[in-house]
Amino acid sequence: MIVTRFAPSPNGPLHLGHAYSAIVAHDLAKKAGGRFLLRIEDIDGARSRPELADDFRRDLEWLGLEWEDVPAQSTRLDAYEAAARRLMEKGLLYRCTCTRAEIQALEPRMGPEGLIYPGTCKGRHVDLSRPSALRLDMEAAMVRVGEISWEDETAGRFTADPRELGDVVLVRKDAPASYHLAATLDDAADGVTLVTRGADLFFASHIHRLLQALLNLPVPRWHHHPLLMEEDGRKLAKSRQSGERGFGLSDLREAGEDGRALADRLRMGQMPCGITLSRFPHGET
pLDDT in tens, 18-44: 999 999 999 999 999 999 999 999 998
pLDDT digits over 121-180, tens only?
998 888 878 899 999 999 999 999 999 999 999 899 999 999 989 999 999 998 899 999
Q: 94: which strand partners?
A: 135
Record the pTM.
0.91
pLDDT digits over 200-254, tens only?
999 999 999 999 999 999 999 999 999 998 876 677 776 544 444 568 999 999 9
The rounded Cα 198 to chain-centroid distance in angstroms is: 8
What are the Cα distances from residue 96, in Å, to 16, 45, 207? Answer: 37, 20, 19
CATH architecture assigned to 3-75+182-277:
3-Layer(aba) Sandwich (3.40)
Yes or no: say if 132 and 114 are a contact pair by the CB < 8 Å rule.
no
Residue 198 φ/ψ, nearest 5 degrees:
-70, 155
What are the Cα distances from residue 160, in Å, to 19, 148, 149, 285? Answer: 29, 6, 5, 9
Per-domain boundaries in the chain: 3-75+182-277, 78-150+162-171
User: Residue 208 contacts by C-beta under 8 Å, 6 or more apart in sequence?
Assistant: 180, 183, 184, 187, 195
SS3 label, residue 125? coil
Q: How far is 7 from 222, CA to CA, in rounded Å?
A: 15
- HEC letters along 187-227: HHHCCCCEEEEEHHHCCHHHHHHHHHHHCCCCCCEEEEECC
Q: How far is 106 from 210, CA to CA, in rounded Å?
A: 27
pLDDT digits over 71-110, tens only?
999 999 999 999 999 999 999 999 999 998 989 888 888 8
